Structure 1
Amino acid sequence: MELGNDTRISEFLLLGLSEDPELQPLIFGIFLSLYLITVCGNLLIILATTSDSHLHIPMYFFLSNLSFVDICFISTTIPKMLVNIQTQSRVITYTGCITQMFFFTLFAVLDVFLLTMMAYDRYVAICQPLHYMVIMNPRLCVLMILLSWIMSVLHSLLYSLMASQLSFCTDVEIPHFFCELNQVVRLVCSDTFLNSMVTYFTALGIAGSSLTYVLYSYCKIVFSISAISSAQGKYKAFSTCASHLSVVSLFYCTSLGVYLSAGTTPSSQASATASVMYTVVTPMLNPFIYSLRNNAISKALKRCFGMETVKGPLIPG
């Protein structure tokens, strides 16, 4: 490996969650189990929403896309971590590190956009129910997904290109289980002011505007639900939002908690451990939240596996 104060290094070293050799088999078993649970759970959501014609509505269209993105999101980090543990190697190539940063940022930003679109869908469904199918038409839904992909790719490409222009020092050890942007930038010898400003303002713009809109949407939703006279009507209206609200809270609380505490956390290893919450735990819990709190998903899964007999017509929503 050629080391020096330039970008011609060939590889980095991922230190992982622990350097203790005795803990490696345990870490491997735990994260392999979490990865398989996440992939299988999200595949079941995709299967249920695509195979059941009663779920071919915007709400479940966005949900199936979220499940697909969550599978890709966790697949950018965990497989490489498992391979490194199994081969007892910590090496990731320079190209592999930049590529991992690109796809990690891509799917993280897509998660943000999808959660925002799902909040808009719930806002229209509850605050403007008579115009729901007109506003949330298939063309608009596909266009929203397409625009979110384009914006996410451009955002990730900007980060990756800026990272590829940095000059690295001889220390190439990353105290993380994947090439996390902030940890990689700390290995740079050149001035990182421009990178830091671009990263800060773009992340603040995307995450901040998304969170602001989600909060605004739910304020309007709560106001609309409070105007419903019957208690049963209020419960049915809120139950359609409960799963999404749970996922939004889990995603933002864990990710913001990690990055807001990054400056006060003395140990980078502790930051890596905390990152497990939004990179692994959140994608794993999403299918459980939607399947347990959503009767339509549960029934669709039962029908997929022949566990429920359909008696009479079913009405979506």
Structure 2
Amino acid sequence: MDLFNSALGKNITFVRPAYFIIGGFIGMAHVKFYYVFLIFVYVVSVLGNTMVMLVICLDHNLRAPKYIAVFNLAFVDLFGNSALVPKILDTFLFNHHAISYNDCLTYLFFCYTCLSMQALNLVALSYDRLVAIIFPLHYMVKVTHRFMFTMIASFWAFIITAVLIAVCLITRLSFCKSVLINSYFCDHGQIYRLACNDHFPNYVVSCLYPVIIFWIPLAFILISYLYICYTLSKVATVHQGLKAFKTCIGHLSLVAIYFIPLLITFTLMENIHSNARIINLSLTSLFPPMLNPIIYVLQTQEIKESVKRLLKISRKVKVKKIAIM
């Protein structure tokens, strides 16, 4: 970051605060009930995503390339909620609203990386469904383990680079006025608006970021499913079409849970109260990681069968131990 700043000019002096104040939920009525709800969301998210990751690791039947993306989604959900929820509870439930400058940027980096990776992971799963239904005979050639791993790794590299650029641009800002962040975490948009020097590059990034991370992935997913529906209507009977489309229900549910609340919030951003915006965005960030593993376990036949097999094995092991004792 120092090299980045030095390239901007040697005579620039930056006023960096010792800390920021996260004040998103301050003043909201009955907000402590919301914190109890967040604890429930976090516990379910940790248990669900850990279970999905363990099932994929332990069951050799789940070795299809798409499960690389499913495993990565569970990892991102677990890591993302672990980055957000404990800090939210520490900040608002225990009144530790102050966060140091460097810790705030680190917090921003991990939160944005995980939230953005969720969207691109849904793109990977969408591509898997597209090829599986449109080119079923070529699926094993087009979607290999190496291809899926490379795609997921490329998404990680892209997201990390994009978020690092946003963080580096914040380090060139001077904060000589308020240090109160009106959000539930160290939000990039709320931080750069506090700066008292030119923050146009940050504004450009804040405009481009939703397009790259939200609108383009959503457009790709919608176009993919329109193409899937068009193809099924041309080459399959109604029964065959429904059977093929049924394999997409789990993924479509994940897409709806992730994108619809964001779409509503972005559309109504100017017409809703700031407190309502904060609640909506926090739920949008925290709800999908809780629901994703539940949906995949319930909607994906392979994972349901795998969970049943592993439960049977664990029961047999317990019976043997009791018999030996």
Q: TM-score, normalised by structure 2?
A: 0.86
How far did 1:88 drift? 2.5
Among 112, 118, 121, the alignment partner of 2:125 is 118
1:281 is aligned to: 287
Quick one: which amino acid aligns to residue 103 of structure 1?
F
1:7-86 → structure 2 map (5 Å cutoff)? 7-19=15-27, 23-24=31-32, 26-86=33-93
The one-letter amino acid of 1:292's match is L
Alignment correspondent of 1:162: 169
Quickly say closer, same or farther: Cα 1:21–1:306, change in 2 above 3 A.
same
Alignment-derived partner of residue 6 in structure 2: none
CA contact (8 A) 1:6 1:169 kept: no
Contact 1:124 1:132 in 2 (8 A): yes
Superposition deviation, residue 50 in structure 1: 2.1
Deviation at 1:18, TM superposition (A): 4.0
Contact 2:66/2:148 (CA < 8 Å) preserved in 1? no
- Establish whether residue 302 from structure 1 lines up as the match of residue 302 from structure 2: no
Partners in 2 of 1:23 and 1:137 — Cα distance? 47
Task: Provide the rounded CA distance (Å) in 1 between the counterparts of 2:62 and 2:269.
Answer: 41
* Deviation, structure 1 residue 256: 2.6
Inter-partner Cα distance in structure 1 for 2:162 and 2:15: 22
Q: What percentage of residue pairs aligned between the two structures are identical? A: 30
Partner of 2:101: 94
- Find the residue that maps to 1:12 and give its secondary structure: strand
Contact 1:172-1:187 within 8 A present in 2 as well = yes
The answer to which of 208-217 and 130-139 deviates more is 208-217
Query: Could you say what secondary structure the match of 2:207 adopts?
Result: helix
* SS of match in other structure, 1:263: helix
Quickly say closer, same or farther: Cα 1:122–1:308, change in 2 above 3 A.
Answer: farther
Amino acid at match of 2:267: L
Q: Name the structure 2 match of 1:315.
A: none
Question: Runs of 4 or more off by more than 4 Å in structure 1?
Answer: 20-23
Task: Give the AA of the match of 2:297.
Answer: S
SS at match of 2:61: helix
C-alpha change, 1:277 and 1:28, in structure 2 (3 Å) is closer
State the shift of 1:235 in Å: 2.3
Task: Note closer, same or farther for the CA distance 1:194–1:229 as it changes in structure 2 (3 Å cut).
Answer: closer
Task: Supply the AA of the counterpart residue of 2:89.
Answer: L
Segments of structure 1 that go 5 or more residues without pairing to the other structure are 310-317
- 2: CA distance, partners of 1:146 / 1:246: 24
Check conservation: 1:106, 1:153, Cα contact below 8 A.
yes
Letter in 2 for 1:107: C
The RMSD of aligned alpha carbons is 2.1
- State the 1:70 CA deviation: 0.9
Tell me, yes or no, if structure 1 residue 198 matches structure 2 residue 198: no
One-letter amino acid of the structure 2 residue matched with residue 125 of structure 1 = A
How much does 1:63 deviate? 0.9
**Partner Cα separation in structure 2 for residue 131 and residue 189 of structure 1:** 56
Aligned-partner residue type, residue 271 of structure 1: R
Residue by residue over 1:227-259, the C-alpha shift from the partner in whole angstroms, topping out at 9 and shown as x without a partner, is: 354443222211111111111122111123223
Which deviates further from its counterpart, 224-233 or 111-120?
A: 224-233
Match 2:160 to one of 146, 153, 156: 153
Output the CA distance in 2 between the equivalents of 1:203 and 1:85. Answer: 27
Give aligned pairs, total: 303
Using the alignment, how far apart are the partners of 1:245 and 1:287 within structure 2? 14
Query: Quick one: structure 1 residues 189 and 69, their matched pair in 2 at CA, closer, same or farther if it must change by over 3 Å?
Result: same
Report how far residue 123 of structure 1 moved.
0.4
Unpaired segments of 5 or more residues in structure 2?
Answer: 1-12, 316-325
Bigger mean CA deviation after superposition, 76-85 or 156-165? 76-85
Paired residue type of 2:127: Y
Deviations 1:43-92 (A, max 9, x none): 11112222222221022221111111111122222111112245322111
Aligned counterparts, 1:230-269, within 5 A: 230-265=237-272, 267-269=273-275
1:50/1:80 Cα in 2 relative to 1: closer, same or farther (>3 Å)?
A: same
